[in-house]
Amino acid sequence: MIRVTPDNVRRYRLAASGLDSRLRSGELAAAAYAGLQDSAPRAAVISLHARVEDVTPSSWEDPSLVQIWFRGGADYVVPRDDVGVFTIGASSRDPDRVAALETVADDVHRVLQGRTLRAREVYDALPHYERGMAVRGATITGRIHIRWDASKIWLTPVDRPDVDVEDARLELARRFVRWFGPVTERRFAWWVGLEGSDVRETWERLRPELAAVEVFGEERLVLTESVDALRDAVTPSGVRFVPHGDPVIKIDPELVDEAHRDEVFPRPKFKSSFWPVAGALLIDGEFAGSWARQQRKVTVNPWRRLSPREREAVEKEALAFPIAGGSSSVRFHLESVG
């Protein structure tokens, strides 16, 4: 079995998820290949900006993308052409659970009547679905899309994606392994928001495409076609800001120095010395700090002294955030470090 180091994993994930070099302008769907979480205001736009040239404040609404509720109701931006992978592909194998969600989707469609309406209006019309949580879950039917502008949520009725459910499940698992590998079956179940029994058959179908490696003291799996890329991944150059929920800081806190881990992988009810944290700062492929944002005002918390070249690059990247409204500014949380 091949042994790889956490550094191999970090470098591989940066490359696999498109953080080693930016894609050409307009290649937004490719940048959202495995989904980009948008739970924090405009987090997906910042994730897109880290991966694609010329991202604008409205890029999250590009026709090639669509918003859905994924994995337990989290707002995600995914490729529109592949929306069936992220909806139907994440459905349970329990027929009763599926039928119940289809009933909810039927009720939502009855309220919407082909229109796009505020989510609150739909919830009010369906008071027996407590606080709309069942409606969020029904997105997995593929028949409801959302639009969240960081203030209000709208629901749009759509036809069910024309995909085979087993093919969609397999493709969703494949995308997870390609971006997040090396991984385990248990971690995939967590990511997709399903029970282990729901993903086991899918995982077994994918197994012929997988190779085992040893990392973090355990056996994990990666796509066989990615073994060389994992073993030989090189350190990229440049500065990137990634928000909480971004794929590169979604799992494995061990990738970050223990002294600063809680800033990038926050624990419930725990506040680090730098708070609130919006995400991680990457400099030449290394986790080098954290950051916070209020509109276009960015505060950078470097974990080490930055060289003049690094500081200039960090400031330039922060000022380039594709966030609308207000003037831009950058400050460093600890000037003695920065």
* pLDDT tens by residue, 267-310: 777 777 777 888 999 999 999 999 999 888 999 999 999 999 99
The pLDDT value given to residue 131: 65
| Residue 179, both tokens | 């971006």
Q: How far apart are CA 316 and CA 240, in angstroms?
A: 11
Range name among 16-25, 103-112, 127-136, 244-253 with the lowest pLDDT average:
127-136
Mean pLDDT of 15-19: 96
The pLDDT value given to residue 210: 98
| Residue 144, both tokens | 């409801």
Q: How far apart are CA 125 and CA 127, in angstroms?
A: 6
Q: How far apart are CA 124 and CA 111, in angstroms?
A: 10
239 close to 313: Cβ distance less than 8 angstroms = yes
Q: How far apart are CA 335 and CA 48, in angstroms?
A: 29
Tell me which residue of 262, 326, 261 sits closest to 293, measured CA to CA. 326
16 close to 181: Cβ distance less than 8 angstroms = yes
The pLDDT value given to residue 335: 52
pLDDT tens digits along 22-31: 999 999 999 9
pLDDT tens digits along 32-75: 999 999 988 899 999 999 999 999 999 999 999 999 999 878 99
| Residue 60, both tokens | 């999250």
Amino acid at 322: P
201 close to 126: Cβ distance less than 8 angstroms = no
> CB under 8 Å to 268, separation ≥6 — which residues?
none
Residue 244 predicted with pLDDT over 70: yes
Kind of pairing, strands 218-223 and 210-215?
antiparallel
Question: Across the chain, what does the average pLDDT equal?
Answer: 93
The pLDDT value given to residue 338: 42
pLDDT tens digits along 176-235: 999 999 999 999 999 999 999 999 999 999 999 999 999 999 999 999 999 999 999 998
Q: In terms of pTM, does the model score above 0.85?
A: yes
